[in-house]
Structure 1
Amino acid sequence: MQKSVRLKSFELIAQDIDSVDVGLLHALSIGVGWPHRPKDWDFLRRAGRGIVAVDGIGRVFGSAMWFPHGDDFATIGLVITSPRTQAQGTGRWLMEQVFEKCGDRDLSLNSTHAAYRLYVSLGFTKEAIVYQYQGNVAPELPPLPELNGQLSALSRDKIAEINALDARAFGTDREKLVALLAEGASIYMLRRDGEIVGYSMCREFGRGRVVGPIVASNDQDAINLTAVHLKDLAGGFARVDTREKGLFAEFLQQNRLAVADTVTTMSRGRRFLNGKSGEPAVYGLAGHALS
């Protein structure tokens, strides 16, 4: 695999993402209008692996990360190219580096509008649309559906209790990621007849807080698992990324969260989304890169 790429006026070299200062990564994401703070980059580097495209004097012109879950699956994210190099093949070159690192793994990602054609040309298939709801939370929550079960806080030292449920919803085991997300999150779980049937997290990210992952088997459960966080965020900035269009989406809108953007969930290899009615599903994403 070619470890460097020649552009019009300079050469870029692939380098491990952990080898560069986080300030350079922050500047890269700011340059394309993404909200990631240095703390968010630090977290993502702990959660996954990545490469950056650097020139001869250490300037960062691109990034790409992958988040392995077991030996056969990974999500891809943080594929960024600086405006100066976007039309010069840097994105394709970065993805080729990722493919080499990921081997035979099945892959999934959430594509921006600008990158969609690139991913199609690389063999990715469209599966669903993710709606990025965000805004300042309403001062009072709308009426909630009746709570079916017991909703309670989950301490971080008991996070393993939700791993089996999360694996059913996500489609593969992501125990390491769930544990990392829990470090800085408030966590609630929903029990019904003694069984854990849903959970949700809320943590700092970007301009405020993101509620996700949210795992539930129906809209009513998902709404209650989201409301328990939003009630403490009145007037503050919050974000929820979801593929849902029904009652759950209406609830987010009633809380003054509006669709700010969309991305497209895509897969290469096995199909990523295989949800069934009544089964646990990911109602709120952990993040675009983490899915």
Structure 2
Amino acid sequence: MLMDKTKAFSPKAFSFEVLTLDDVPAILDLIESLGWTHVVKDLEVMLQVGVFLGAKDERGKIIATGALFPYGTELASIGMIMVRPENQKQGYGRAVMDALHGHEIAKGRTLCLIATEAGEPLYKKCGYEVAGRIRKFFGSPEQFLKKSSLPDFPLNQRRVALRAMHANDLGNVIGMDAKALGANRRSLFELRYSQSDYAVIAENKQGEVVGFVLAVPQRGQHHLGPMVAPDCETALAMIGYIAERSDKELRIDVPEDQQALHGLLPSLGFRLIANPPAMIRNNTFPGCREHYWSIMSQAYA
């Protein structure tokens, strides 16, 4: 949902405007100042499916941003809370959160986010509570394939058939994503599917779709998510499918409740990079999260 760029948001002494595709180079400059890995296509998708607010200095350089992504009518994710390094600890983080909370998209919706370590205290002050944690892993496709090739490894006991996802699968998998997440995000999912290098379907012996995963390119990485699967073996099989085809480092953000998966990943060559909190405001996470094995991204939760 995009709004007239001339409309400003002014919590306290700060003024925020709705960013558009014209602002992508400036947003990317802020991303690079923080060492984040998002690419231009990520920003184009975000600007299509959500509202992206930014504060600029007198030269037009973006100082701070925040984004709000609506899912259905009851849930929204907050992400891309960024403040330029030289402007941190000046109140911009709280100001952008106030602006997002005051936006019409936020009204009446449960709000969730994945925090950074530095941002967690701020979000607690804004009324968010830790509802779980995400384990962020990076790993080599070659190491995964080497270590998972042992005869007794569960990947070699798969009970599903894997294939590429096609456009006519989208209705089914978007429904599965909505059931797992607790809200429909059709527009976002369709755009992420078009952005992905690999999209995988898992079918049982009856030919029914029981799982899926997207592999979306970032800088030097393939980000695996969202992933829905009936069990850990199916999740591992889909990771293996992508590892066989990817020439990039793999990143996967696993909910901490999925102990079977994140317990195995270190033995498969993945290294734990961070363990950020998943936070929610005035509610609990909806959906059937037991089948949700990796999130779409920290921005989208």
TM-score, normalized by length of structure 2? 0.86
Q: Tell me whether 84-93 or 106-115 shows the greater mean CA deviation.
A: 84-93
Counterpart-to-counterpart distance in 2, 1:135 and 1:23: 30
State whether structure 2 residue 104 is matched by structure 1 residue 93: no
Q: 2:76 aligns with which of 49, 74, 77?
A: 74
Query: What does residue range 105-184 of structure 1 map to in structure 2 within 5 Å?
Result: 105-139=109-143, 140-141=145-146, 142-143=148-149, 144-184=155-195
Q: What is the one-letter code of the residue matched to 2:36?
A: W
Contact 1:156/1:183 (CA < 8 Å) preserved in 2?
no
State whether structure 2 residue 10 is matched by structure 1 residue 3: yes
**Which residue in the other structure is 1:32 paired with?**
34
Residue 239 of structure 1 deviates from its aligned partner by: 0.7
Residue 37 of structure 1 deviates from its aligned partner by: 2.2
Distance 1:51 1:137, change over 3 A: same
Query: What does residue range 232-247 of structure 1 map to in structure 2 within 5 Å?
Result: 232-233=245-246, 236-244=248-256, 246-247=259-260
Counterpart-to-counterpart distance in 1, 2:221 and 2:23: 23
Residue 4 of structure 1 deviates from its aligned partner by: 5.7
Which residues of structure 2 form unaligned runs of 5+? 1-7, 150-154
Contact 2:183/2:287 (CA < 8 Å) preserved in 1?
no
Q: What is the one-letter code of the residue matched to 1:169?
A: A
Counterpart-to-counterpart distance in 2, 1:138 and 1:240: 15
**Which residue in the other structure is 1:231 paired with?**
244
**Which residue in the other structure is 1:198 paired with?**
211
Q: What is the one-letter code of the residue matched to 1:181?
A: R
Residue 233 of structure 1 deviates from its aligned partner by: 2.3
Query: What does residue range 60-71 of structure 1 map to in structure 2 within 5 Å?
Result: 60-71=62-73
TM-score, normalized by length of structure 1? 0.89
Partner deviation per Cα, 1:52-102 (whole Å, 9 max, x = no partner): 011233111000001101122101100011122221111111011111111
**Which residue in the other structure is 1:282 paired with?**
292
Please state whether the residue corresponding to 1:84 is helix, strand or coil: helix
Which residues of structure 1 form unaligned runs of 5+? 7-11
Counterpart-to-counterpart distance in 1, 2:181 and 2:134: 15
Larger strand share, 1 or 2: 1
Distance 1:243 1:155, change over 3 A: same
Counterpart-to-counterpart distance in 2, 1:95 and 1:89: 10
Distance 1:4 1:124, change over 3 A: closer
State whether structure 2 residue 235 is matched by structure 1 residue 222: yes
Contact 1:138/1:255 (CA < 8 Å) preserved in 2?
no
Partner deviation per Cα, 1:2-40 (whole Å, 9 max, x = no partner): 61654xxxxx52111216521211111122221122232
Please state whether the residue corresponding to 2:142 is helix, strand or coil: coil
| Root mean square deviation, CA, Å | 2.1
Counterpart-to-counterpart distance in 2, 1:82 and 1:249: 33
Counterpart-to-counterpart distance in 2, 1:178 and 1:103: 23
Q: What is the one-letter code of the residue matched to 2:182?
A: G
**Which residue in the other structure is 1:23 paired with?**
25
Residue 207 of structure 1 deviates from its aligned partner by: 2.6
Counterpart-to-counterpart distance in 2, 1:255 and 1:46: 37
Contact 2:9/2:15 (CA < 8 Å) preserved in 1?
no
**% same residue:** 22
Q: What is the one-letter code of the residue matched to 2:16?
A: A
